[in-house]
Amino acid sequence: MKKKILITGGAGCLGSALIEKYIPEGNEVLVIDNFATGKREVLPAVKGLTVVEGTIADETLVNKCFQEFKPTHVINSAASYKDLTNWAEDANTNIIGAINVAKASLAAGVEKFVNFQTALCYGNPLQIPIPITHQTAPFTSYGISKTAGEQFLLQSGLPIVSLRLANICGPRLSIGPIPTFYKRLKEGKSVFCSDTVRDFIDMSDFLSLMDIIMSPGNVVTGVFNVSTGEGHTIKDVFDVVSDFVNIPMPDVAVVPAGKDDVQKVVLDPTETEKQFLWKAKICFKETITRQLEWYDKYGINDIYSHLTAHK
């Protein structure tokens, strides 16, 4: 059955990947995006795709889009994180925006609501890998506001699945160590690695989970971690990138994590695997290599970070 899918933040890495999947399948998609971090050019004029420029913090705009498009499914991929000090913008998009989209979804009677959440919601975790039952304790503007937004969504009464995401690698990824290392090495610039551990998952594994979640017969709701469950150091990432671009740097500096960083973030996907009969299949090295092959073919967009610069 064809769907009418409204995607907030559809010009980002995850949203645009989903659009490239949903449109050829015959679904209709409406995107709301302010293009603060997403690129307008990744949303070409194609049949079945409607693009509305604006912020989900604008309740009037959100309501108009819902009333005219009448979505059956909603994916909340919007996230403000570009300026670490702009707490008001983070709150407007990640909290007020989530509330606006939730209320409009309730009024429209949507069949399924999928929310994308940051793993930073856990703050400094008390155990690794982080179970879905772990307390939330965010300490950055991005983490705090996304966690507050998620809580409003969970209280809304919507048929919601909120996904707490590992580092998803795929087309147009413009945040984190992979694009940073690739770009700087290609430009002959110096690099350093933070002394941290993260989990990485390939876009194809993420999309396979979304297929299950969005399927008509799936009625599972709640909060779930999306990850391979395996942690790798940022130096591990650097080594794969360095080998790929054939620029060996055996003495790259490894620096301690900053005050606004988290030492280890590795999500436990056990409950997700159980509830959705899903499991990530692509290994770490192949995941990073696929990302680098994409950069070789298409280049790199702007690079953003959730962290302050190392000094």
Q: Residue 232 pLDDT > 80, yes or no?
A: yes
Q: What's the confidence (pLDDT) of residue 310?
A: 41
With contact defined as beta carbons under 8 Å apart, do 83 and 93 qualify? no
pLDDT one-digit tens code per residue, 37-90: 988 999 999 999 999 999 999 999 999 999 999 999 999 999 999 888 999 999
Tell me the residue type at 38: G
pLDDT category of residue 306 using cuts at 50, 70 and 90: very low
Tell me the residue type at 217: G
Instruction: Verify cis geometry, omega within 30 degrees of 0, for the bond prior to 129.
Output: yes
Kindly state the percentage of the chain with pLDDT values over 90: 89
Residues 207/212/214/220 CA torsion (nearest 10 deg): -130
Cα–Cα distances in Å, from 156 out to 104, 127, 223? 11, 30, 14
Task: Give the DSSP H or E segment for 162.
Answer: strand 160-165
pLDDT category of residue 107 using cuts at 50, 70 and 90: very high
User: Which CATH fold topology does 4-169+201-226 show?
Assistant: Rossmann fold (3.40.50)
Q: What is the bridge-based pairing of β-strands 197-198 and 232-233?
A: antiparallel
- Strand, helix or coil at 165? strand
pLDDT one-digit tens code per residue, 22-31: 999 999 999 9
- The domain segmentation of the chain, as residue ranges, is 4-169+201-226
- Which residues 6+ apart lie within 8 Å of 282 measured at CB? 201, 202, 204, 205, 290
C-alpha 84/C-alpha 175 separation (Å) is 14
With contact defined as beta carbons under 8 Å apart, do 118 and 164 qualify? yes
pLDDT one-digit tens code per residue, 212-222: 999 999 999 99
The 10 Å Cβ neighbour count of residue 47 is 7
